[in-house]
Each structure stands twice: as structure tokens, then as C-alpha cells.
Structure 1
């Protein structure tokens, strides 16, 4: 695979290119398995526009290449002599061509017999064993019946396919009664061919193909392929002539393994296409224990195998390190840091080539050298201002035992549900806005209350001052000092006037400071490349005109204020002349009063204090009205806040129900609204004192309404004791807390918590549901892993999941989900348990080994140990080094017919 093949604009490094050239396991090949040679057309008088074999061969091969067919089988009727030209030409053109023949048994059934290329020279002998020695007849009939042919094919090392099974000469059409039952249920019959979907088969045959007919029912039904006679390039294009078969090595053994596991390895044209998903393409290391090691990932299930100390965990932690992902638990973090420090080692460079499909297909190269942060490069090799999470979001990596750590946190379990939640995008925007508005409303209310308290404290002295004033009045002093007393009120008027004008000066300053209006976002450069730039270009001019008009208004505003200041100064000047006359009279009167031992100055000071305080009454009343308005607005915001939280909970609850349906009879998921009380506990601890019992009782409430709790706090100690059974001392401390605390309680968001239950009953028995708390460590991890396997398009990476899993749950729970989900998601697992790669039918198994001594040693992966179980070296490796290797293949045989 080259850089161009994966859409890169520039060549990759030699190291990464070498990684992409490594085997990456099983993939789907489009296969046409019933191609006829030119001699067949001549012998059977088939209409054709071709006049020579060479012309026919070239046209067939070109069409195969054009439509993406990579594998063909040339199958003339009991003949191979005239097939050689097409087989050789196809191989020379880069196609994989199987030589073989179409056999007609003595009971009239047609079979396709396909052989590996190393059997090309002995095919005539196999035809002879079928009793065919003369080739005069266009379509001779052999001496073996169907059962005998199936048995012989196995001995020959061939793969045998029942051709056009539902039409003339087909097994289910030609045979009937017990003879048909016997052949159809023969365990050596691994595959049959149709020219279309099963749903198009005749009514009498379709139930047999669907394994619904009692007489013909099999434990493991034959693989159903699409294959039909190809006599012309137009036939190649037809869907019924080919199908997709997954193999790591194109061979008879590859076919056989695919036929044994058709659910995983066979795809007809009528089946859904594999879903595109984010994936790791390749990974390389420079330095450290994995130096010169490289991996070419498969897009589906990748399994790392090998003995202790061969580097399996190091590859997993390298992926995590390259992506910059943090471990979830303390133990996982310690293990990760130890691997990076002591195994990868400082200076080691990890390179990870990834492909994202959303919003469009694009490749990125992520590079990270220990201990530096990761760098993301574009297809052109340019360093981007992006993080690995930006280009590969939602990737999940779990080290050894990390899933077990995850089960200890109900809040983290709730986060697992996020991928299943259909979020309303508008809800997130509303939530952010309302949360901000609530904080602002609290701030406004606190400010108003603080100001009211300040004014009320000052006004507290007013009644006493007014009482003293009455005594002065009774002494007749007010009448004698009336002019000076009224002058004090006039002085206060000028002070109030300044305060009133100050707010307009502030407005004028803010207007001028905000000019000119910013037009950078609609400048010619900003609009460059937009489709409607000719229309949008006028906005800059509009805003420029607005700036000019606002500047003029600001100047007028300033002029009006200056004119008012001038007029007020003129007025005050005239008033000052009058004030001086009154002051002279007042001074004279004070001297006379002093002779009579009367404190006239004290009276005037008293009047001054009263005149300063009386306007505060109006201010307090205005603040009270403001407070009522702020509190009314807050009530509306709180109602919306609770609606938003309830809507988000309903989204999570719906996701939990969907997961439970997907994992029916395996896992149940339930969520508790506001189940996590930790934010409330942290807030209440600010009160101080011993609140342990109170917090426990609030925690024990099945349902807890935060608005109601805040209201009970405002009502006081008795209300808290009555409704929540709080201890007297704690209730009193909470009730006496600052009122700001009660508003903060209303603004809290208590996350939902998740309860997961696992069915611990054996397969096919009534379910026995147990919560995580009642499960063993392995059962807990099983339940969580089943959730992790579902519904994500991002890769899931797990290091040795079987360390925390019960073996029975691997085979009965995890493997079936894994087989299903790997079609639409990439998995990378390391394991020493054979059930995961064998029963899970891993597309890529990588066998790691260590070489060298101690600190000088390093990991290696032999090329022959990169593949799937259809590769003999890989299969032998699995049997040799994995726990239960042979037993896993035996279980595969019993479950899937191997």
C-alpha cells in the first residue's frame, strides 16, 4: 500500500511505507468463482462477439479489474486443458486465478471444485477419478454421486461448492426426498451458490436455505455465495456473478475458513456494505523496546498475542501515549507511566498513521517523542494546530485491569452511555446560556441585597435623629434657623443633581469607547472565497456609515452634557450669592444663641444628617422593586434550568433502554436521576462543622429536589429537620448559612448515576440479574466491556481483557458482540486467551516475540505471524502459545462447524 493509495499528498517516510507494505490480515476480496473459458462458449454454441480466445481473455480480465474483482475461478465442465490460457493471463494481469472444474455427479448435481495453484498439474488425474476419460461430450456426467464427490474433494485438498443450487442442475432443485436431505446435511458440504439474494429463491427451496425446514435443518448451514456462469464481460458486471470473501491468504484454506464462518467472512451484494469508520492504519517505533517494529493494522479486529515480556502491553500503551489519552484509574496511570519511562524510554519516537472518515475521508500522521507532546501532521506533512483528539475523537484505550477500575465509579459508568445518547444540540446551547444567566441573577440579587443592607444600616439612625429634631422644634429653634435649615436641603439638591448626571456621562464615554464599529469580520479578506461575496461586501460600508452617525451622536451627547454643566454652574453661581447672605445672618444668629447657651450649630448638623438620610428611603424602595424583578426573573430561569436537566436525563434514560435492548438477556442498564450527590456535599461542607450525618441522610433520599431543598433551607431549621430528618445542630448551621448558598444549591447539577446488571445464568436458562456490587471482579468487567463494544465508530483498544473476565462470559457474551460490532468499528486487543482471536475470528493476529538479552533486547513480529487463522503459521502459533489454543479451535469446531 502506497501513500497515494491511502490518499496522501506526499510520500511517507521509508519506515512508515515499510509498515504499510506489511501483511494486515484478512480482508474482503471480490470473487467470481464460475468463469468459463472461451472453449466452453464454442463447445456449447454460446453467442459471443469474440473471435479468439486471446480477445475473450483480455476482455474478461479487463472487466474484472474495472469492477474490482480480484479473484476468479475458471471452471469448465470436467475440463482443465482449455482453461489454462485464461488462468495464466489472469495471473499475469494481477488477478488471483483458481484452476478447477465444474463436476456433474451421477445423480445430476453440479459442483464447482476449486484447487490451489500447486495442484494445477494433477487436476486431470482428479477428473479421471470421477470416471471422465473422454471429452467428446460437451457436459459429461461423472461416476461419483454427490456424497462421494464431497468426500473425494476433501481428500484432494479442494473446496467444493454446490453450483446454482436452486435452479436446473442445482442440488436443491435436482434432488428430492431423503437423497436431498442426505446431501444437504452432509458436513462436508460447506458452500452453495445462488445468482442473487436468498429472498429470491423459489418458495419450496427458500426455507431450506434459511435453515427453517425441519428435515433439512443443520447445526451449521452451508455458506451461501453469489456465483453464476460468466460467458461474457457483461456477465462479470452482474451482482449475481460475484461476492465478497474475507481471507488473509487467497487459497483453498482461505475459502474453507470463510465458508465455515460465513457470518463474519462472506458478504453478498445484497448485504449492507461495511461501514466506514475511524481507524489506525499503521504504527512504527524508533528507539526503545519496540525499535524497528512496525504494525499494519486491519480495519476490523486486531489481536496481539505473545508470551510475557514480548511487548503486547507496550504497543497498547504506545497507542495511548501517541493519542495523548489519560488513564482513568490511579493504578492504570502508574502502569502507563512506568511503561513509557522504562520500556519505551526517553527519546523513543512513536508514529501513528490514522484515517478519519468524518466529515470527509482524510489521513493524519501523529508523532510523539518521549517525553514531548504529540504533533499532528496533515496529508501534506504540515504540522497542524490540532490535537490527536481533534482528528481521532472518542478513541478508548484501556490498559490491564483498567476496566475493573472503571467499574468502581458510577459517574464514569454514566459517561460510557454518552456515545449512545442522541443529544439535542440546541439543548446544550440553552443549558450553557441558562447556567450563565443564573449566575448573573444570583450576583445581581446578592449585590442588591448587600446595598439594601447597607442603606438599612444607615437608615437605622434616622428615627433617633428625627426624635431629636422634634425636641429642637419644640424649643422654637427650627423657626429661628429656618433659612439655614432650608439651605441645607438646597445643598443636597445640587449633590443629587451631580449623581444624576454622572450616569449619562458614563453612557457617553461607553459609546465613544466602542467606536468605530469593528468591521474586520466583514472585510474583503474575511469574505474572500465566500459564494455571495458580492452581496456581503456592502456590510462593511453599512457599518462604516453607522460608526459615523454614532460618532456624531456621541459628539452631540458630549455637547449636551457640557451645556448642562455650564447652565448648572451659572445657576449655582446665582444661588451661591444668596447662600452667602443667609450664611452671614446664620453666623450672627449663632453668636446670639451661644449667649443663651443654645447649640444652634448642633441643630444645623442634625438637619444636614437627616437631609442626607431621607433620600435613602426612596433608594431602598427602588432597590426593593429591583429585587422583586430579579427574583421573578430567577424563578423563570430556575424553571427552565430544571426543564433542561430533566430533558438531558430523558436522553440518557432513552440511551440506557436502547443499550439494554441491544444487550438483551446479557446486560441491563438503569440510570438514576441526580444520583451523584457529591456536588451538593462539597457545597454544604462550606457551612462548616460536623455535617456527616446530615449529608448521609440527604444521600439516602431516593429522589432529591434541589429547588425544594433550597426552599427548606430558607424556611429554617425546623423545616430541614421535618422534611429531611437532619440533626438539629446541622440543620441550624445550614439554615443560618449565607442566602447566597441557597441560590447556589438551586444552580447545582447532580449527574445521573448508572446501575449495570449482568445476567449470570448459563446460556438458554432463565435470566438471573445481578448488580455490579453483587458481581465478581470478572463479571463486573464483562458487563462494562459489553457496553464498550457497542455503537461507536472510533477504535477500542484493550490490553488483555480476559485478565478481568470470566471465561464463560468471553465465549457467550463478549465474542458474539465483538463479531457483530467489528464490521463497523476497529478493535485492537492484546490477549493470552485463544477464544478472543479464534472464536472472534480476528482479521489480524500479530504474534510478538522478544529477542536479545535483558535491557538490550527488543520485540519483533515475524511476517509469517501476521495474518488470520486461515494462515497455517498463524494457526499453529495460536495453538502453541495461547492459553486453551487447541481447546478454542475445538470450541470453534463445535460452535461454527470447523
Structure 2
């Protein structure tokens, strides 16, 4: 007979859930129910096969009552269609407790007969063949025969929980599974909640060292019954074989599921990585959607593989040292041969679509869709929340407060993010306001300089008037006024021309409603009508613009004519003045012409400055209005930052609940005062160094409050309790306004304090700040955060480097076993606790041959494969406790 383990052997490189119907009866079984079989055995087998294929059944347990006659024919048929058959039988103990016994898929019918003989069967009674052995003896004997035994229909008649005082049977360590008709929660309230409490291991009389596995394996006596949810369950294995099947029940919490328990997986995943060229040339890995562990001896290339994945995803390492290490690794392993890394990813952000990411050394990554077309997306668009940390990178992160804060913020609910755009908009308007204030102040200063000259110029003019020149030259200011008014007319016409040009550029553009754009749209006619309406508006607007342009041109021509006439008259008046200058008596060594020219220039300056007095008032009013607007904007900024801080605090509280008693967080809004200190140091205050500014870090005032006090003057600063020395007060009050405007919008980052519970087990939690922790404890706190819910993968290179084995076994592995159901993890590790206790679905063993890294197909799989077991034990590190637990759990040395 063919060995099922040799069929498609190379395809089994990772563990997954197989759908198993474990109590399937052959055609002859129906007679035990007092019914007559109406179809032949061959027809029954064929119909059963078709129903099993339709239901997605991959493994069946064949369990006739005390008979194995039908095994060979049914097994042969099912095996030909890729369904594995574990042959066996149903049997009752001397207490009439029913059990199903299953055996290796390759066990012959003759061997099964001998097993039946060893169970000391009596003659059939009541439709079954009971054994002379007690339930405990029966369990021991099946285990001795390398079989697997589970309690059948344990909550019904002849079930181990239905028959009283059988808790010693339930507690037998080799009884690892019991069958119930549906989910455990369906047992709530039945028999005073007895059954549910027993299965949850909460009944003290039935308490086991390890909880029993609940399975659905209802009797299948008719082909269509195999389709029912209660007829099958899910068992995780690398290969569909009996060895893996049995070992699954040694870790049922991870490997045994009811159909109703398996969660839908909406997470992203790295499905495959393939290397072309370089150290890992030809390495081709299909990852599990759950926990993946890359192992191997030191120097085999675990970190190389992780860094090459980082390279393909274009992810930047944290810190200078990590960046250099990454660049060196990638260059050394891909650079010489211009190697390429290919990743197949499934993206939760893109609703489960699959993409191929390809990156050659020296090039940027290229993203292809499932059709092979170049996609506009970047790798980060596909996996926006992926986390990848190399060796010691987490340790480096723990020493940077802002990085810790950013890490925590990634796991907060996004309520606070709604205020980010509001804050950014207000800051943008404040920047525009600052620019306007600075410009207005500069203009005011320029005008003030001219206006301050006016009294002096007027006094000089008075001296000229005392010479009797006022009456003769009184027309000069009037001529200057006429020149100003005439120039203003030209400006008014120019503004209208600018408005016409702007309107011309703003006419509707209907290119977006072209026939090509509307092709095949269901309501294209209505969109064409919209295009026609816009085209009509354009025509009417163009007519108006035409009339406006003509009127503007006519007016401009008319003004030119009138201005030329006025200029001619002014020129004549000025010529008359020139002639009048010679009649002015000489004085102080100056001719009359010189005196007249000076007086004319003086009057021109006075007339040019006089309007600036009004303009100065206008500028002052404009500045006051800008400051009123600024005050309103600063209030808006305060409101938005306050609302964001409140939302952040609520999110932090929710995150703390998710972290349980492992990690505690304290958020101090705007608690980082270093930016304000740096700002003042950069201002280079006279005789003031960083030490004299220590009051900044000790205070809790805002930068805007400090700027306001500085504007109010030294007395206002002295009135505060901020502890500012007189020398610093004086220096602050000499800051220019542009620095105060800048200070008002200075953002102070939040401070996120991370505290780790340093106690274990049920001890009262004791939280310590991350800065007070050891290196391993600091990394532990961050790792707890990284294990929080996330749809994108978490990839870590040797996280155990800064963690102790006890912590990994007691905390991290427990979280991994739960989190991996809804998230993909990839760890490069030499610690046995992660792949073994975490029950990794894929373990890949890196080896080196001819100076190249390899992961052979036979070196991939889960811990249920003997080869992987031995490689794991040989390669991985771990304490005595870890190896003892592994030996007990998996039965190998």
C-alpha cells in the first residue's frame, strides 16, 4: 500500500488547519441502528467521498463498531482523491463508556484486527461490542498500541460525563479529547452548567493538569451527514499524517479548533520570499499567515534574510548604527551579484489584494499587481503598519523618548488625529499672520521715518516763506497734488485689467467632461447636459469680458489723452515758475534760481509726505487688526491642542486596558519643554547661557504665555513665579518682535511615560518607569506594545538578545499564541521558547553549503515533524526547564 507521507512530501512546509471528520462509519454501520442499508458498499463509499470533497474534508477517522472489515476499500478510494484515512473503530469499556480509537493511516487491516484482539472484546450486546477492559485500561492499551483514543458523544448516553463518578477517567492524562455536538458555549446552563465548566477545566472534581480538547466528531452514518458542522473539526498539522495528528492534541489550545472557533483572518501577510543572486540565491520560502520562526546556527544568515526583506520593503532602520549595519549587510549579500529580492504580499489595507514587490540591489522597489502590471503603490502603502526591527534595534529605541512616544501613538485609536489637520491649518494661518505682521511693521517703520522728517521740512519751508516766496510759489504744492491724482487714475485702470485677466483664467474648463471621460457611464446624458450648461456660462462670460475689455481700453486711451493734456499744462506752469525764479532776490550766496529750486524741491517732499500721515494711521489700524486676528488664531490653536490632548488621554486609557497589567502608560501633554529651551538658547540672549534658563524646563507655562509677558515688559515678568533672574528678564525684553511671534507658535511635544509591571504571575502589579529598568526590561515593555493588535506583520531579529528566557516563556509566548491567530509574525531566533512554546506554524532551518545560505524543503515545517523536532533541539538555545518541557510536550529527547 502507498505510504501517504510520501505523497506530495515537498508541499508540506508549514502547519495549517486540516478539516477532519473523526467518526465516519462504513456502509454496514447502519444495521446497528436497526436500519437496512439500501445502497451497495461501493455506492455508499462513492457518495461519502463526494460529500467529503464538497465539505472540504481532508482527513477522516473511520470508526465502525468493533469492526475493521470496511477499512481497506474505503481507504484506497479516499486516498486516491487526496483524503487521508485514519482507520479505527468505536468501542465501549466495561463501564459501557464509548470511545473512538484511531490509528496510523498506514496500519493494515490485519494489524487492526490484532489491536481489536488485544482489547478483549465480549460478544455484541445492544448493538455494540464492549470490552472486558475498564475505561482506564482501554486508554492505556490504545496508547500502548500507538493509537489515539477520544471520548465519544461524552454528554449523551454512554458518554464519560453522562455516566456518574467517572472523573478519574476524565482526568486520565492520555485521554486528550472528548466529542461534543457543537460549540462549548452551547453547553451553557445544561446540567447546571456542569458540562461547560468541565470542558473549561473549572470544575474542581474534574480538574486536569492540562485541559482536554473539545472536538466535533458526530457519528456519520449517511454520506450527507459529513457536511454538518458538528461532524468535523479543525486540526493543525504540517502534514496530514497520524504522527502530526497525535501531537496536535498535546497542544490543543494552539492546534485544535471547532469549525465555529476558527476566526476569519483579515490581516496582511508576507506570503512568499524569493532570492535571485547573492548569498541566499535560490532560497524560496512560503511563510505561514501566523507564527514563523527562522532558526539556524550562528552565522548562517538569519539576520541577512531579515535585512533583505527590509530592503525589499524599503523600510528604514532606527538609528545610525542600525542603518549602517543594514546597508553593510545588504551590500555584502546582494551588492556583488546585483541580487534581487521578490516578495509576495497580501495587503489588508488593499482589502486582501495580492502584490509582488521586487527590488534589485541599486534600484528602487517595484510593486506589481496580480496581473503583473506595475502598480503606483509603494511597499509602505501595502503594509502601512508593518513593524520590523533588527538586532538591538528595540534596545536603541527604548533610549529615545520621542521614538517611544511615536511607537505608542501608533497603537492609539485615531480620535486625536482628527485635530491634526485643524492644528496644521491654524499654524499655517498663524505663519501667514506672522509674515503680515512683520511686513506691516516694516512698512510702518519706513513711513514713520518719513513722517518724523515732516516737522523739520515744514520748518525749512517756513524760512523760505519769510523771504516772501510763498505767494510767488504757492502753485507748486497744487501741481504736485495734481500729479499724484493723475497717477492714481492710471492705477485704478490697471487694477481693473488685472481683474479681467483673473476672470479670464477662471472661466469654466469642461475638459473633465469630455466624451472620452463620459464613455460607458450610466448617466452620461445628464453629465453632457452639465457640460452644455458650463459651456453656456463660458460664452456669456466671454461676452461680458469682451465688453469690459473694450471699455477698459477706451477709458485707458481717454485717460492717456487727458493725462497728456494735464502734463502739458503742468509743464507750462513749471516753465512759468522757472522764469519767476530769476526775480527772486539772491540770498546767503545763492541765486534766486537756486533758492526757488530748493523751495520747489522742499514743497514737493512735504506734499509727498503729508498723505503718509493718514497712511501711518491706516497702517497702525491694520497692525492692530492683525494682532486681534492673531489673538483669535492663538485661541483656536489652544482649543484644538486642548481637544487633541483630551482625545489622546482617552485613547491612552483604552490602550492601558488592552495592555492589562503588563504595561502602564502615563501621557503628559506638551510635557517636553526642550524645544522652548533650545529656542531661547538659539536666540543668543546677551550674557545668558543654558544654565540661566533652567527655569524653562521646571515651569509649566506655554511659549505663548511667555511671549505675552515679554511684550508687557520687565515688570510683568518680575510678577511671575517662574524664577527668572533680573539679568535674563532684561535680555528677554530685548527680543525682537519676530522672535516673539515665532515663540508663540512653538509646539511642545507630549511625553509618554512607559511603565512595566516587574512582578510575575498573580503577584500584585508593581510598575516601574522605563528609564529605571534594566535593558531587558526596557525591551520587554516595548515588545508588549509591538504585540498589540495590528493587521500588518511583526518581524523581529533575535528579540531574545535583550530578554531572559523566563520572561519569553511566561509572557511573550502566551501573547504570541493568542495574537498569531489574527496577525503574522516572523522571528529570527536561537531561543527555543519562541518556536516551540509559541507552536510556530513554520520553522525554517538555515544552513550553509559552498558559502551560500539554504533552507531545504525538508528543513521547513512545524514542530510536529520529527526532523524539525531534532533540528530544533540541536540548534536552538534554551535552559533546562525549556528542554524538559519540550521533551514532555512533544515526546522527544
The alpha-carbon deviation at position 360 of structure 1 amounts to 2.7
Aligned-residue RMSD, C-alpha: 2.7
Output the CA distance in 2 between the equivalents of 1:21 and 1:688. 71
| 8 Å Cα contact 2:263-2:821 kept in structure 1 | no
The alpha-carbon deviation at position 461 of structure 1 amounts to 0.7
User: Does residue 822 of structure 1 match 2:820?
Assistant: yes
The alpha-carbon deviation at position 578 of structure 1 amounts to 4.6
Partner-residue secondary structure (3-state), 1:561:
helix
Deviates more, 1:687-696 or 1:705-714: 687-696
* Residue 863 (structure 1) aligns with: 857
* Residue 808 (structure 2) aligns with: 810
* Residue 237 (structure 1) aligns with: 227
User: Match for 2:380 among 366, 386, 389?
Assistant: 389
Q: How does 1:752-763 map to 2 (within 5 A)?
A: 752-763=750-761
* Residue 275 (structure 1) aligns with: 265
Partner-residue secondary structure (3-state), 1:352:
strand
Partner-residue secondary structure (3-state), 1:151:
helix
Partner-residue secondary structure (3-state), 2:858:
strand
User: Match for 2:411 among 412, 420, 424?
Assistant: 420
User: Match for 2:636 among 637, 640, 650?
Assistant: 640
Output the CA distance in 1 between the equivalents of 2:432 and 2:891. 68
Deviates more, 1:156-165 or 1:550-559: 550-559
Q: How does 1:553-592 map to 2 (within 5 A)?
A: 553-576=544-567, 578-579=569-570, 582-592=573-583
User: Does residue 143 of structure 1 match 2:129?
Assistant: no
Change (3 A) 1:278 1:780: same
Output the CA distance in 2 between the equivalents of 1:664 and 1:112. 41
| 8 Å Cα contact 1:24-1:298 kept in structure 2 | no
Deviates more, 1:784-793 or 1:655-664: 655-664
* Residue 41 (structure 2) aligns with: 53
The alpha-carbon deviation at position 836 of structure 1 amounts to 0.8
Output the CA distance in 2 between the equivalents of 1:673 and 1:531. 52
User: Does residue 489 of structure 1 match 2:481?
Assistant: yes
| 8 Å Cα contact 2:676-2:696 kept in structure 1 | no
The alpha-carbon deviation at position 634 of structure 1 amounts to 2.7
* Residue 149 (structure 2) aligns with: 160
| 8 Å Cα contact 1:656-1:669 kept in structure 2 | yes
Output the CA distance in 1 between the equivalents of 2:45 and 2:834. 44
User: Does residue 502 of structure 1 match 2:514?
Assistant: no
* Residue 172 (structure 1) aligns with: 161
| 8 Å Cα contact 1:670-1:756 kept in structure 2 | yes
Partner-residue secondary structure (3-state), 2:162:
helix
User: Does residue 261 of structure 1 match 2:251?
Assistant: yes
Change (3 A) 1:21 1:749: farther
Change (3 A) 1:813 1:654: farther
User: Does residue 305 of structure 1 match 2:295?
Assistant: yes
The alpha-carbon deviation at position 323 of structure 1 amounts to 0.7
* Residue 221 (structure 1) aligns with: 211
Output the CA distance in 2 between the equivalents of 1:687 and 1:815. 52
Task: Encode CA deviations 1:227-251: one digit per residue, 9 max, x unaligned.
Answer: 1111223322221111111111223
* Residue 442 (structure 1) aligns with: 434
The alpha-carbon deviation at position 633 of structure 1 amounts to 2.8
| 8 Å Cα contact 1:478-1:485 kept in structure 2 | no
| 8 Å Cα contact 2:273-2:342 kept in structure 1 | yes
User: Match for 1:878 among 844, 856, 872?
Assistant: 872
Q: How does 1:285-434 map to 2 (within 5 A)?
A: 285-346=275-336, 347-424=338-415, 426-434=418-426
* Residue 711 (structure 1) aligns with: 708
Output the CA distance in 1 between the equivalents of 2:693 and 2:85. 75
Change (3 A) 1:194 1:523: same
Change (3 A) 1:42 1:358: farther
User: Does residue 606 of structure 1 match 2:597?
Assistant: no
* Residue 75 (structure 2) aligns with: 87
Output the CA distance in 2 between the equivalents of 1:134 and 1:114. 21
Partner-residue secondary structure (3-state), 2:275:
strand
Deviates more, 1:162-171 or 1:612-621: 612-621
| 8 Å Cα contact 1:159-1:255 kept in structure 2 | no
Task: Encode CA deviations 1:311-360: one digit per residue, 9 max, x unaligned.
Answer: 11111111111111111022211221221122334312211111123433
Output the CA distance in 2 between the equivalents of 1:522 and 1:475. 78
Partner-residue secondary structure (3-state), 1:847:
strand
Partner-residue secondary structure (3-state), 1:832:
coil
Output the CA distance in 2 between the equivalents of 1:319 and 1:711. 52
The alpha-carbon deviation at position 529 of structure 1 amounts to 5.3
The alpha-carbon deviation at position 729 of structure 1 amounts to 4.7
Q: How does 1:102-113 map to 2 (within 5 A)?
A: 102-113=90-101
Structure 1 residue runs of 5 or longer lacking an equivalent are 1-18
Output the CA distance in 2 between the equivalents of 1:529 and 1:317. 48
User: Does residue 844 of structure 1 match 2:842?
Assistant: yes
User: Match for 2:15 among 22, 26, 29?
Assistant: 26
| 8 Å Cα contact 2:266-2:352 kept in structure 1 | no
Deviates more, 1:767-776 or 1:716-725: 716-725
Output the CA distance in 2 between the equivalents of 1:426 and 1:777. 36
Task: Encode CA deviations 1:50-107: one digit per residue, 9 max, x unaligned.
Answer: 5122222222221221122211111111111123332222211111111111111110
The alpha-carbon deviation at position 264 of structure 1 amounts to 1.6
Partner-residue secondary structure (3-state), 2:249:
helix
Output the CA distance in 2 between the equivalents of 1:294 and 1:580. 93
Output the CA distance in 2 between the equivalents of 1:251 and 1:451. 87
Output the CA distance in 2 between the equivalents of 1:368 and 1:548. 53
Partner-residue secondary structure (3-state), 1:824:
coil
Task: Encode CA deviations 1:108-153: one digit per residue, 9 max, x unaligned.
Answer: 1111111112323411111111112756973111111111111112
TM-score, length basis structure 2? 0.92
Output the CA distance in 1 between the equivalents of 2:153 and 2:554. 102
User: Which aligned runs of 4 or more in structure 1 are off by greater than 6 angstroms?
Assistant: 893-898
Partner-residue secondary structure (3-state), 2:113:
helix
User: Does residue 123 of structure 1 match 2:112?
Assistant: yes
The alpha-carbon deviation at position 523 of structure 1 amounts to 2.5
Partner-residue secondary structure (3-state), 2:100:
strand
Output the CA distance in 2 between the equivalents of 1:789 and 1:774. 22
Partner-residue secondary structure (3-state), 1:386:
coil
The alpha-carbon deviation at position 717 of structure 1 amounts to 5.0
Deviates more, 1:50-59 or 1:570-579: 570-579
Change (3 A) 1:695 1:318: farther
Deviates more, 1:568-577 or 1:199-208: 568-577
User: Does residue 746 of structure 1 match 2:744?
Assistant: yes
| 8 Å Cα contact 2:270-2:344 kept in structure 1 | yes
The alpha-carbon deviation at position 378 of structure 1 amounts to 1.9
Task: Encode CA deviations 1:533-592: one digit per residue, 9 max, x unaligned.
Answer: 332233333333333333333333333333333333344355456535544543343222
Change (3 A) 1:704 1:549: farther
Change (3 A) 1:869 1:686: same
* Residue 669 (structure 2) aligns with: 673
The alpha-carbon deviation at position 832 of structure 1 amounts to 1.0
Task: Encode CA deviations 1:649-700: one digit per residue, 9 max, x unaligned.
Answer: 3343333323322222211122221233454445444423554225543233
* Residue 184 (structure 1) aligns with: 170
Output the CA distance in 2 between the equivalents of 1:526 and 1:543. 16
TM-score, length basis structure 1? 0.91
User: Match for 1:193 among 165, 179, 186?
Assistant: 179
Partner-residue secondary structure (3-state), 1:84:
helix
Partner-residue secondary structure (3-state), 1:891:
helix
Output the CA distance in 1 between the equivalents of 2:545 and 2:436. 29
Q: How does 1:544-555 map to 2 (within 5 A)?
A: 544-555=535-546
| 8 Å Cα contact 1:284-1:350 kept in structure 2 | yes
Task: Encode CA deviations 1:402-421: one digit per residue, 9 max, x unaligned.
Answer: 11001011111122123323
User: How many pairs align?
Assistant: 870
Deviates more, 1:480-489 or 1:292-301: 480-489
| 8 Å Cα contact 1:305-1:831 kept in structure 2 | yes
